[in-house]
């Protein structure tokens, strides 16, 4: 058992990183817009499809394989620039201030549309191109061979936590976002165009989801149904961390990642249940999540 601990921990870290990208976008959008976007998982899978298609294109044309790293990042930017403003302006903005039931119904409708749209555009077969993973090779940690690409994933997740915290605490945009999160009306009164902040925050959330989807393709490929799976996992993570909590999402991702990997090692049939069992335990003890409370800072 003890020699299984190291690969176990490293596996759970990489799996936590991917869940984190999806969950942090969800939690960010929720804290600024106060809308739980049920279609968030679809944007993760769209990011995956676009990235996998781009990497397959690069491979088929025998272009410089290192371009596929740029393709992963650029796919996320592309998806965010197209879908972020479009979805926020056309659908999400009509749900501001409405009841949660309306918000969930509308974004669920969007989820159904996006899922079918993906089948229409990318087909129902799975896409897989592992060039980025192969290029980075492997390392041996404590005698266990490990994919460098997975270490890169963990590094990217850490970068996102630090980057978001810097953005929110130390930039003009971050200050304006904090003001909107704390008090929308006051934010307007002091001259903040809240609609602009909503578009930016929503697009940033889409970017993070699409980035997660894009980064997941070199190791696990992409197939229909990923959007729904991701959504449910991301929601579990956001709930464990406390909705709206960035660091909470990071810690909760680790918990869920660890729970899943432990289940796979110890009782593979419980893999799908493990994240929700973790959520159940946490919410029974802390109903607002690990970092959430009625009065805690909101972003």
Partner 1 sequence: MLRLDKVSVSIEGVRVLRKVSCEIIARKTTVLIGRNGAGKTTTLRAIMGLIAHDEGSIHLDADDLGSRPAYTRARSGIGYAPEDRRLIPELSVEENIRLPALALNLAKPEIVCRLDEIYTLLPELHVMRSRPAGGVSGGQGKMVALGRALMVARKVLLLDEPFQGLAPALALDYARTLGELRKHRPELALLITESSPALLDRVADRTLQIERGEILVPSTKDDKAHVHEV
For binding to partner 1 (CB under 8 A), which residues are involved? 172, 175-176, 178-179, 182-183, 185-195, 297
Q: How far is the CB of 192 from partner 1 (least distance, A)?
A: 4
Instruction: Choose between 138 and 194: whose C-beta lies nearer to partner 1.
Output: 194
Q: Which is nearer to partner 1, 186 or 267 (CB)?
A: 186
Shorter beta-carbon distance to partner 1: residue 17 or 187: 187
CB of 185 to partner 1, least distance (A): 5
Q: How far is the CB of 211 from partner 1 (least distance, A)?
A: 28
Query: Which of residues 140 and 189 has its CB atom nearest to partner 1 in the complex?
Result: 189
140 has which bridge partners?
145
Strands 144-147 and 138-141: antiparallel
- How far is Cα 31 from Cα 26, in angstroms, rounded to an integer? 9
Min dist CB 196 to partner 1, Å, is: 9
Q: For residue 147, what are the β-bridge partners?
A: 138
To partner 1, the closest distance from the beta carbon of 172 in angstroms equals: 5
- Of residues 137 and 185, the one with the C-beta less far from partner 1: 185
Tell me the C-alpha to C-alpha distance, in Å, between residue 98 and each of 62, 101, 105, 283. 51, 8, 11, 26
Q: Least distance to partner 1 from the beta carbon of 180, Å? A: 10
First-to-last CA distance in the chain? 40
Nearer to partner 1, 61 or 170 (CB): 170
Residue 253's nearest CA partner among 4, 55, 21 is: 21
Q: Which residues of 187-202 are buried (b: 16+ CB within 10 A; e: fewer)?
A: beeeebebeebbbbbb
Q: Give CA–CA dist 260/258, Å, rounded.
A: 5
Helix (H, G, I), strand (E, B) or coil at 112: helix
CB of 292 to partner 1, least distance (A): 15
Q: Which spans in 137-273 are helix H?
A: 148-170, 172-182, 184-189, 194-220, 226-241, 246-266
Token pair belonging to 125? 């077969």
- Please say which residue, 116 or 193, places its beta carbon nearer to partner 1: 193
Record the tokens describing residue 202, joined without a space.
């929503």
């Amino acid at each position: 058992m003890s020699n299984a601990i190291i690969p176990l921990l490293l596996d759970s870290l990489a799996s936590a990183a991917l869940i984190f990208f999806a969950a942090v976008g969800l939690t960010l959008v929720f804290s600024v817009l106060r809308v739980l976007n049920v279609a968030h998982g679809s944007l993760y899978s769209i990011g995956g499809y676009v990235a996998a298609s781009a990497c397959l294109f690069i491979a088929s044309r025998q272009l410089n394989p290192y371009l596929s790293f740029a393709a992963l990042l650029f796919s996320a930017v592309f998806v965010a620039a197209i879908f972020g403003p479009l979805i926020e302006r056309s659908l999400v903005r009509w749900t501001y201030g409405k009841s949660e039931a309306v918000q969930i119904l509308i974004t669920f409708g969007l989820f159904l549309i996006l899922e079918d749209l993906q089948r229409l555009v990318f087909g129902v077969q799975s896409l897989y191109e592992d060039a980025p993973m192969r290029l980075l090779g492997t390392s041996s940690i404590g005698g266990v061979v490990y994919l460098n690409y997975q270490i890169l994933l963990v590094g990217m997740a850490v970068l996102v936590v630090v980057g978001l915290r810097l953005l929110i605490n130390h930039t003009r945009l971050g200050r304006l976002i904090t003001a909107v999160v704390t008090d929308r009306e006051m934010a307007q009164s002091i001259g903040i165009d809240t609609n602009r902040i909503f578009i930016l925050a929503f697009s940033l959330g889409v970017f993070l989801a699409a980035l997660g989807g894009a980064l997941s393709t070199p190791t696990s490929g992409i197939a229909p149904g990923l959007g729904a799976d991701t959504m449910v996992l991301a929601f579990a993570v956001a709930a464990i961390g406390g909705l709206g909590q960035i660091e909470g999402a990071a810690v909760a991702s680790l918990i869920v990642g660890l729970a899943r990997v432990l289940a796979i090692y110890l009782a593979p049939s419980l893999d799908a249940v493990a994240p929700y069992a973790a959520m159940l335990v946490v919410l029974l003890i802390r109903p607002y999540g690990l970092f959430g409370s009625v009065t805690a800072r909101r972003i």
